[in-house]
Amino acid sequence: MKLYRLYIKNIFDFVAAFAGLVFFAPILAAIAAIIRIFDGSPVFFAQERVGRNFKLFKLIKFRTMVVGAEAKGAAVTKGEDPRITPIGKFLRRYKLDELPQLINVLKGDMSIVGPRPEVRLYVEAFLDDYKRILTIKPGITDYATLEYRDEEKILNKFENVQQGYLTEVLPEKIKLYYRYLDDMSFVADVKIIFKTLWRIVAPV
């Protein structure tokens, strides 16, 4: 695992991200055009997240919410959030809004597989846990991504969505982040990637 973590994982990430951007280029262009036509600019949404060793970076997604959404509510969203656009709902359902994060992987801010990157507020709330979790790069998918595939629906039950995320959802995600740290290997990453792709093409 040590050899994979120190050297091979970075090579794997770069190759997979480059290949993914080439393969998905037509889809990326089509999504960008649709957002631009129906929802206007900007097409992309960049948000500050905490990366490996607490280094801050800008996570890139397709914009799925109204412009200025960050000033109108919590950093996490539930399924009935009025800030989400109709096109955004579709992109979120099939995780297509996450595709631009391949750029983050190519830049070295993220891995294909790893704990999901959080905003500073949530990291600071569980600082001791993140001192271990952020010894590796955050990722596009992992065990928590698979387990909380319908996170927005789960958050619907909370009147205070941010409080619900902090007290119930994130602590469970952190347990899954620890599990990934213990399991991290090429085989584990490939399994997670294929499970993620299957969930996307066959959502439940």
pLDDT digits (tens, 9 = 90+) for 99-108: 999 999 999 9
Q: Is the CB of residue 109 less than 8 Å from the CB of residue 51?
A: yes
CA atoms within 13 A of residue 95's CA, in its CB half-sphere: 18
Number of domains in the chain: 1
Q: Which position has the token pair 């009025």? A: 82
pTM tops 0.85: yes
Report cis status (omega within 30 of 0) of the bond before 171. Answer: no
Sorted by sequence, the CB contacts under 8 Å of residue 59 that are 6+ apart come out as 46, 47, 48, 49, 101, 104, 109, 110, 117
pLDDT digits (tens, 9 = 90+) for 62-85: 999 998 777 777 777 777 788 999
pLDDT digits (tens, 9 = 90+) for 84-97: 999 999 999 899 99
Tell whether the model's pLDDT for residue 50 goes beyond 80: yes
Residue 47 forms beta bridges with which residues?
Answer: 59
Q: Which domain holds residue 150?
A: 2-201
